[in-house]
Structure 1
Amino acid sequence: MIEKLISFSLRNRVFVLLISAVLFGWGLYSVQTNKVDAIPDLSENQVIVFTEWMGRSPQIIEDQVTYPLVTNLQGLPEVKYVRGSSMFGMSFIYIIFEDDTDVYWARSRVLERLNSVGNALPEGVTPTLGPDGTGVGHVLWYTFDAPGMDLGEQRAVQDWYVKFALQNVEGVSEVASFGGFQKQYQVTVDPNKLTYYNLTVPQVIQAVRANNNEAGGRKFERSDIGYIIKTTGYLKSAEEIENIAITTNNTIPVRVQDVATVQMTGESRLGIFDLNGEGEAVGGIVVMRYGENAEEVISNVKEKMAEVSKGLPEGMEFNIVYDRSGLINESIASVKNTLIEEMIVASVVVFLFLFHWRSALVIIIQLPLSVAIGFILLNAFDISSNIMSLTGIALSIGVIVDDAIVMVENSYRHLAEASKRNSE
């Protein structure tokens, strides 16, 4: 079979060269379009369901949230198994699908099932789908350099400005905020005063909630001009909360300030984010969407950061603390250098030992052509250029070089012997 293939190639050299040129061009296109990442995605094909019910113990979360969700989500098509995890105030459900299942089809089926399990959960508890990312989707971390700005202000800038801007970047699934304080109004109720005024905590909550809303009116025209009537009732300061009337006692209103203390504070935290031992920092984690090109996503995020930084408060700058593009570029550069070095070394060795430039040219053509065909197969099987695949290509280059040197030397020797016999 091999002899017939060699014989056919020798008789049809133009055809072989044409096929090689087509494969090389196809390979170059595959190199440009192949997804580039540093870490191979070996995570399972999963959909995460996240449910928050703050203030409840893990056992209550397990009994009233995790267990009903796990039992209802079982039986979905192409599901391998369902796992659940409960912790203080939060529940996580991991639905593992078959490897060849489309992730967005899987998410739609999970969402359909979640619409029918609402009655099995406590009132006010709503499960939500996690981001459409993977376990290796954290491609970029950043913090803020903001001297003189407190952590609450930095977190507000992150949550209400930077996060929304970066989430619009193509290929970004989520921007998760971390660090700092999330500002909130805290009402600390005095139980003794509640007893004195014969009030309960639910009454205080209802009074605050009822006085923090807006209501629409009607539209009327006057002098050919339309006016819209509305009431603005959103609370804007701690003083407004203090003056809310809870009830009336002998025509005297009992206000929130009579039974509680109102102050601006930060939401309770379970941990802090420390940067290089220099103190707390505020920032975000950019999560790449499933199946995207990590190199392109990181590049687009950096461009968006340059645009967003123009609207940041004076003195506030981005500080990138983790950037996977550096590892990606090093991996690609390693393969390029290995290919070039081995092409030069193999060609020099063949030329010095054989003094035949055409034999050296065979190796120079064979190496890049083999790598190009490798990238065609990577695209065909939807495999990204990562540390594992690029390392395999780098190792195969050494095997190709050894094979090329042996085959070229052997062919050259047989041709030389045949030429010598013919001359005799």
Structure 2
Amino acid sequence: MVHKIIAWSLRNRFIVLVLAAALFAWGFFAVNKNPIDAIPDLSENQVIVFTEWMGRGPQLVEDQITYPLVTSLQGISKVKYVRGSSMFGMSFIFVIFEDDADIYWARERVLEKLSTITRQLPQGVAPTLGPDGTGVGHILWYTLDAPDVDLGEQRAIQDWYVKFALQNVPGVSEIASFGGAQQQYQVTVDPNKLLYYKLGVTDVINAIRTNNNESGGRKFEMSGIGYIIKTSGYLQSIEQIRNIPVKNQNSIPIRVADIASVQMTGETRLGIFDQDGKGERVGGIVVMRYGENADAVIDRVKAKMKEVAKGLPAGVKFDIVYDRGTLIKESVSSIKRTLIEEMIVVSAVVIIFLFHWRSALSIIIQIPITLAASFILLNAFGISSNIMSLTGIALAIGVIVDNGIIMSENAYKHLAERYAEYLKQTKN
């Protein structure tokens, strides 16, 4: 069979060259289309369900949220197993699907199931899906270098300006903020005053919630002009919260200021983010969407950062603390360098030992064509260009070169013997 293929190739050299050129062109297109990353994605095909129920202990969260969700989500099609984790005020459910299940199909099945489970959960609890990213989707970390801005304002800039701008970048699933202090109105109730006025904490909560609201009226016409009636009741200052009446006793209103203190402060934190031992920083984590090209997404995020930086306050700038793009570029440059070095070494070895430049040229041509064909297979099996796959290609180049040298030397030897026999016969 091999002899027939070789004989056919020798008789149809032009067809072989055209097929080789077409294969190389297809492979070149596959190289540009293949996603590039630094590390292979070996994470499981999973969907994360996050539920927040602040103020409750882990055991209560486990009994009333985690357990009902785990038992209900196990009946979804193509689910291998479901993992649950409970902590103070939060519940995490990891739904692991089979490898051949499409991630967005899996997310739709989980959403359908959650719509029927919500009524079994405590009132006000709403499970949400995590980002459509993988375990290695953290492609870039950045912080805000703002030495003259307090942590509360830095976190506000991150949450209300930077985050919304970067989330619009194609391929980005989520911008996870960290560090700083999330500003909020805090009402600290005095229990002795509550007891004196015969009030409860729920009375204070209901009073504040009721007075922080807007409602619509109706439209009416007068003198040929249409008017829209509505009420504006959103709280906008600490003083407005203090003046909210909680209850009337003997026709005297009891305000929030009479039983509690109101202040603007940061949310209670369980930790801080310190950079290089120089103090706290505020920043974000760029989470890449499932199946995207990490190198292209990082370049788009950096380009967007340049636009966003123009709108930052004076003295505030981005500081990238982790960039996977550097490792990606080093991996790509390494395979390029290996390819060039091996082509030079092969040419030198063949020319030195065979003194035949055409043999060296035939071997050198095999390398880029084989590499291009390998990327066609990578795309067919959904494998990205990463350290593992590129290392395998670099090792395979050695095998290709060895085979080429052996075949060229063998062909050169047989042709030399045939030529010597031909000269001997002509002399006789």
Residue 132 of structure 2: SS of its match in structure 1?
coil
SS in 2 for 1:313: coil
Residues 268-287 of structure 1 aligned to structure 2 (within 5 Å): 268-287=268-287
| TM-score, scaled relative to structure 1 | 0.98
Which region of structure 1 is more displaced relative to structure 2, 59-68 or 227-236? 227-236
The structural deviation recorded for 1:221 is 3.5
Q: Which runs of structure 2 are paired with 1:275-424 in the superposition (5 Å)?
A: 275-424=275-424
Q: 1:235-250, aligned counterparts within 5 Å?
A: 235-250=235-250
Q: Does 1:220 align with 2:249?
A: no
Inter-CA distance 364–224: structure 2 relative to 1 (3 Å threshold) = farther
Q: Which moved more, 1:307-316 or 1:183-192?
A: 307-316
Corresponding residue for residue 105 of structure 2: 105
Q: Does 1:80 align with 2:75?
A: no
2:100 matched to 1:71? no
> Quick one: which amino acid aligns to residue 289 of structure 1?
R
Larger displacement relative to structure 2 (210-219 or 169-178): 210-219
Give yes or no for the alignment of 1:153 onto 2:143.
Answer: no
Counterpart AA for 1:423? L
The aligned counterpart of 1:29 is 29
Which residue identity lines up with residue 336 of structure 2 in the other structure? K
Q: What is the aligned partner in structure 2 of residue 180 from structure 1? A: 180
Name 1:132's counterpart in structure 2: 132
Partner of 2:211: 211
d(CA) in 2 for partners of 1:285 and 1:386? 21
Partner of 1:260: 260
Aligned-pair CA distance for 1:422: 0.7
Moved more, 403-412 or 362-371: 403-412
Cα separation, 2, equivalents of 1:304 and 1:228: 41
Partner Cα separation in structure 2 for residue 118 and residue 93 of structure 1: 14
Q: How far does the alpha carbon of each residue in 1:216-238 deviate from its partner, in whole angstroms, 9 at most, with x for none? A: 12223445443322221111111
Give the Å deviation of 1:354: 1.6
The answer to which of 262-271 and 212-221 deviates more is 212-221
Amino acid at match of 2:327: L
Q: How does 1:31-70 map to 2 (within 5 A)?
A: 31-70=31-70
Distance in 1 separating the partners of 2:371 and 2:381:
16
The amino acid of 1:240's aligned partner reads: Q
1:339: how far off?
0.4
Residue type of the alignment partner of 1:397: I
Q: Residue 229 of structure 1 corresponds to which residue in structure 2?
A: 229
After alignment, is 184-193 or 3-12 more displaced?
3-12
Is 1:144 the counterpart of 2:144 in the alignment?
Answer: yes
The structural deviation recorded for 1:383 is 0.6
The verdict on how the C-alpha distance between 1:76 and 1:8 changes in structure 2, with shifts beyond 3 A counting, is: same
> Deviations for 1:35-66, whole angstroms, at most 9, x for unmatched residues?
11111010111111110101111111110100
Equivalent position SS for 2:302:
helix
Aligned letter for 1:45? N
How far does the alpha carbon of each residue in 1:277-299 deviate from its partner, in whole angstroms, 9 at most, with x for none?
11110010010010111111111
Secondary structure at the residue paired with 1:95?
strand
CA distance in 1, matches of 2:381, 2:250: 79
> Any idea what the Cα deviations from partners look like across 1:183-204, whole Å, max 9, x if unmatched?
0000000010111111111101
Residue by residue over 1:356-383, the C-alpha shift from the partner in whole angstroms, topping out at 9 and shown as x without a partner, is 1101101110111111111111011111
In structure 2, distance between residues paired with 1:75 and 1:188: 45
RMSD: 1.0
State the match for 1:200 in structure 2: 200
5+ residue gaps, structure 2 = none
Whether 1:123 and 2:91 are equivalent positions in the alignment is no
Q: Specify every segment of 5 or more residues in structure 1 that has no aligned partner in the other structure, as ranges.
A: none
Q: TM-score, normalized by length of structure 2?
A: 0.97
SS in 1 for 2:409: helix
Q: Give CA-to-partner distance per residue, 1:112-154, whole Å, 9 cap, x none.
A: 0000011211111111111110000001111001121001001
Give the letter for the 2:256 counterpart: V
In structure 2, C-alpha distance between the alignment counterparts of 1:222 and 1:340, rounded to whole Å:
84
Q: Which piece of structure 1 moves more, 368-377 or 398-407? A: 398-407
- The 3-state SS of whatever aligns with 2:15 is helix
Deviations 1:302-325 (A, max 9, x none): 111111111111111111111111
Matched residue type, 2:33: T
Q: What is the match of residue 93 of structure 1?
A: 93
Describe the SS at the equivalent of 2:310.
helix
- The CA distance in 2 between the partners of 1:72 and 1:278, in whole Å, is 48
What does the per-residue CA deviation read over 1:329-370, in whole Å, with 9 as the maximum and x for residues that have no partner?
111111111001100111111112222110110111011111
SS at match of 1:220: strand
Tell me how far apart the structure 1 counterparts of residues 280 and 29 of structure 2 sit (CA, whole Å): 46
Identical amino acids, percent of aligned pairs: 71
Distance in 2 (alpha carbons) for counterparts of 1:47 and 1:246: 44
